[in-house]
Amino acid sequence: MSEDRLDVRKTYKLLINGAFPRSESGRSYKVETATGDFLANVAQGSRKDVRDAVAAARGVQQKWWGATAYNRGQVIYRLAEMAESRRVELRDHVMLAEGLDREAAQRLVSRTIDKMIWYAGWTDKIAQVLGGANPVAGPFFNFSLPVPSGVVGVVASQESSLEGFVEAVIAPIAAGNTVVALASERRPTPAVLLGEMTATSDFPSGVLNVITGVTSELAPVLCAHEDVDGVDISGVSSGEADQLNVVAAGSIKRVFRPRGADDDELRRLRTFVETSTVWHTIGQ
């Protein structure tokens, strides 16, 4: 700003299937900083954007899960590398969005990046920790494999614009799910940045889709979508969460609701992992 030059502003767009469209509806909405200054006009996603994002996530889910766990870990680690290289930008956006001071914002970004790495390391441990062999009383080789639920919808934290978002989307992705995430309505830009980083992190298109917009409009659409297998509804009040939970029950979805500070950190992984148990006969 101090430079004698008019800065080039950025357009904050959606991330759907690896592309960055404006909303198909053509709508946008004004986002302000924590102090009430104008920050940006952000794309206001629509029902159809949610639908397109779910289709993209479904389309790539087999491929993502079909990649080796080692490979998935590398891809997530690569995202952490990208975040690290853009940590100043992330910090600035967290400062603007959440009203934190520079040091606090920096610590938050660091913590978030470390969390990504933690999940990057989980991809090839999940099967060993959550699965295993079962000693059935008969001539059968019997093993339980954790497999992803499929497509997970995330209604991300409204307050924690980066850390909360990352935790909610990376956990299911690490487990082999693909994700359609609704970013924080009032603080969407850190999530949009993260989405942009996936474009340079070897993420197959559609593994993470980020929709910005009005939560009360989009969350019910996401939670009602029958091709969504599970939803994380961290980003709504408990009253709204109850409503979304009812909607999600329509197709027997797995639902994650936060439980507070002492929550088991594996619960996000476990919620969107299914146990598939295979029996095979043992004989000569």
Partner 1 sequence: MSESLANSQLGAFTYDPAPESTGVVRLQSSYGLFIDGTFTEPSSHDQFVTLNPATEEVLATVAQSSDADIDRAVTSARRAYDDVWSKTSGAERAKYLFRIARLIQERSRELAVLETLDNGKPIRESRDVDIPLAAAHFFYYAGWADKLDYAGFGLNPRPLGVAGQIIPWNFPLLMAAWKLAPALAAGNTCVLKPAESTSLSALALAEILQQAELPPGVVNIVTGDGQSGSALVEHPGVDKIAFTGSTEVGRLIQQRSASTPKHLTLELGGKGANIVFDDAPVDEMIEGIIDGIFFNQGHVCCAGSRLLVQESIADEVLRRLVRRIDQLRVGDPMDKNTDVGAINSASQLARIEELTAYGEREGATRYTSNCALPEKGYWFAPTVFADVAQSHRIAREEIFGPVLSVLTFRTPEEAVVKANNTKYGLACGVWSEKGSRTLWVAQRLRAGVIWANTYNRFDPTSPFGGMRESGFGREGGRHGLEAYLDV
Partner 2 sequence: MIASVACVSTAPLRLVTPEDRGVRVSQTGSVPMIDSESQLKALLAGMSGVDAVGVDGRCAKLATRSIKRSSKKAAIDLAISMVDLTTLEGADTAGRVSSLCTKALRPDPSDLTVPSCAAVCVYPDLVAHARYVLGPSSVAVASVATAFPSGRASLKVKLMDVADAVDAGADEVDMVIDRGAFLSGRLGQVFDEIVAVKAACGEAHLKVILETGELVTYDNVRRASWLAMLGGADFIKTSTGKVGVNATPQAALVMLEAARDFAESTGHIVGVKVAGGIRTTKQAISYLVIVNETAGSTWLTPEKFRFGASSLLNDLLMQRLKQQRGAYVRPDEFSGD
Q: How many residues does the chain have?
A: 284
Task: For the chain, count helices (H), then strands (E).
Answer: 10, 10
Region 189-228 residues binding partner 1, contact defined as CB under 8 A: none
Examine residue 71 and tell whether it contacts partner 1 (CB under 8 A): no
What is the rounded CA–CA span in Å between residue 33 and residue 13?
A: 17
Nearest in space to 249 (alpha carbons), one of 267, 274, 224: 224
What sign does the CA torsion over 112, 198, 75, 82 have? negative
Region 24-63 residues binding partner 1, contact defined as CB under 8 A: 62
Q: Which of 43, 179, 248, 269 binds partner 1 (CB under 8 A)?
A: 248
CB-nearer residue toward partner 1: 102 or 280: 280
CB-nearer residue toward partner 2: 200 or 277: 277
Residues that bind partner 2 in the complex, under the rule CB under 8 A: 138-140, 281-284
CB-nearer residue toward partner 1: 116 or 126: 126
Judged by beta carbon distances under 5 to 8 A according to partner kind, the member of partner 1, partner 2, none in contact with residue 284 is partner 2
What is the rounded CA–CA span in Å between residue 220 and residue 173?
A: 22
Region 131-190 residues binding partner 1, contact defined as CB under 8 A: 132, 134-138, 140, 142, 144, 149-150
Residue 97: both structure tokens together: 């969005």
CB-nearer residue toward partner 2: 35 or 284: 284
Judged by beta carbon distances under 5 to 8 A according to partner kind, the member of partner 1, partner 2, none in contact with residue 62 is partner 1
CB-nearer residue toward partner 1: 11 or 66: 66
Q: What are phi and psi of 95, to 5 degrees?
A: -60, -50
Q: Which residues of 18-52 are buried (b: 16+ CB within 10 A; e: fewer)?
A: bebebbbeeebbebebbeeeebbebbbbbbebbbb
What is residue 148's DSSP assignment? E
Judged by beta carbon distances under 5 to 8 A according to partner kind, the member of partner 2, partner 1, none in contact with residue 29 is none
Judged by beta carbon distances under 5 to 8 A according to partner kind, the member of partner 2, partner 1, none in contact with residue 88 is none
DSSP helix/strand/coil, 145: strand
CB-nearer residue toward partner 1: 99 or 204: 204
Nearest in space to 174 (alpha carbons), one of 44, 246, 265: 265
Binding site for partner 1 (CB under 8 A): 62, 129-130, 132, 134-138, 140, 142, 144, 149-150, 229, 242-243, 245-246, 248-252, 254, 264, 267, 270, 274-281
